[in-house]
Amino acid sequence: MNAYAPAMRHAPQALASDQIRVMVVDDAVVVRSLLSRWIEETPDLKLVAALRNGREAVEQLDRTRPDVVVLDIEMPELDGISTLPKLLERRRDLVVIMASALTRDHAEVTLKALSLGAADYIPKPTNEGGVMTSAAFQRDLIAKIQALGHRRRLQGRPLPPRYARRSEYAATRKLGSAVQRAVKWQTVEDDGAHPGLKLRPYSVMPPRVLLIGASTGGPQALTKLVAHLDTVIDSAPVLITQHMPPTFTTILAEHLGRAGAKPVREAADGEPVLAGTIYLAPGGKHMTVARRDGTAVIVLDDGPPVHFCKPAVDPLFSSAAEVWGSWNLALILTGMGTDGTDGAAAIVKAGGTIIAQDEASSVVWGMPGSAALAGVCSAVLPLDQIAPKVTRMFLGARP
């Protein structure tokens, strides 16, 4: 099942001890009731409180003991951004998902919430009627609660060696034929630190283009990464696909631009891809590349979602494999689902290199875990080791 697929409505009830305890905080009674019903209908989730403002959430936190809090931004008495630090001060391991409207103001507040410790966000439809009729909103909300809640439960439990097992967050869908071929090409070498993980050799060509794909936890990871890539950006273009809706990508580009010393902007259709700039896929469009009159250019695609996402990582990676071949170095950062794995396989087939973020530093090890377990990666690294590694590769150092 894809990591974004909705839960089975009529599955047997999970044991109470295995259920993820969820608190919903929203001042709109219709929204609060609807989210509560969806949670109660999902076997591995347990609704422990449905509250109308942040003050009630703080007061009832110790009594209800939630694993996950779905927290609205605009509420009377105590709003979401004011409630967030109070909750995390009481429970540092609490998973908070911000519920945000698709407005510039809410996008700004949401990115601030992520920097303050919120685990993720969920864009709300523009009105209560949209919340009631949006199957995508229901699917994404439940999937985020499940993935983040289960990760919180697993933290602190004794686990077998990382990568020696299939990650709970790596999707179990049948891999595409390109990925199956990539698995056959994998080396039998281990990296030593991760028993059972088979890594590929690095490309023999020094990279000239940096591609990055991310989803859940991506804004936080990208902010840290971009701040340390100035040397790379001077000599190469950087193209990023982050799963995000319109408006949010505009604000993210501004935040990333402030995090580093180089310009970051939403990509425009037809513009040339040049060194010295970071191109971010705009929300609601797939960003791909093509070669026109000998020049690599951005192509924005308004086609259907891929892996339920638009923008998606696979279209960028696959098109880059065709345009730049062995010059590509692609990073797959934290995120739910399997987006990026098929595109990574295409890059590897064309002679490029893939690096994935490791499980311990990922908010959710879905996308990077899927690529790692498919055998298309040359390295699986903690987030703080990725920028130094990438910089050395672009400077010509041997991996």
Beta bridge pairs of residue 137: none
Pairing of strands 120-124, 209-214: unpaired
Phi and psi at residue 395, to the nearest 5°: -85, 0
Token code pair at residue 399: 């991996």
Token code pair at residue 308: 């339920």
Has 243 been annotated as catalytic? yes
Pairing of strands 286-292, 295-301: antiparallel
Token code pair at residue 257: 């631009």
CA–CA dist 399, 389 (Å, integer): 8
CA distance between the termini of the chain: 36
Which DSSP string do the residues of 9-63 spell out, in sequence order?
Answer: TTSPPPPGGGSEEEEEE-S-HHHHHHHHHHHHTSTTEEEEEEESSHHHHHHHHHH
Give the distance, in angstroms, between the CA of residue 307 and the centroid of all CA atoms in the same chain. 12
CA–CA dist 71, 64 (Å, integer): 15
Supply the angle between the helices 341-349 and 313-324 in degrees, to the nearest 10: 10
| Contacts for 309 with CB less than 8 Å, ≥ 6 apart | 215, 243, 337, 339
Has 36 been annotated as catalytic? no
CA–CA dist 320, 312 (Å, integer): 13
Catalytic site residue from 72, 120, 140, 339:
339
Catalytic site residue from 100, 167, 215, 361:
215
Catalytic site residue from 106, 243, 255, 307:
243
Token code pair at residue 340: 């990026």
| Contacts for 352 with CB less than 8 Å, ≥ 6 apart | 203, 207, 321, 324, 325, 326, 327, 328, 329, 330
Has 255 been annotated as catalytic? no
CA–CA dist 137, 330 (Å, integer): 30
Token code pair at residue 239: 């193209």
Place of tokens 């595109």: 343
How many residues in the chain? 399
The catalytic residues are 215, 243, 339
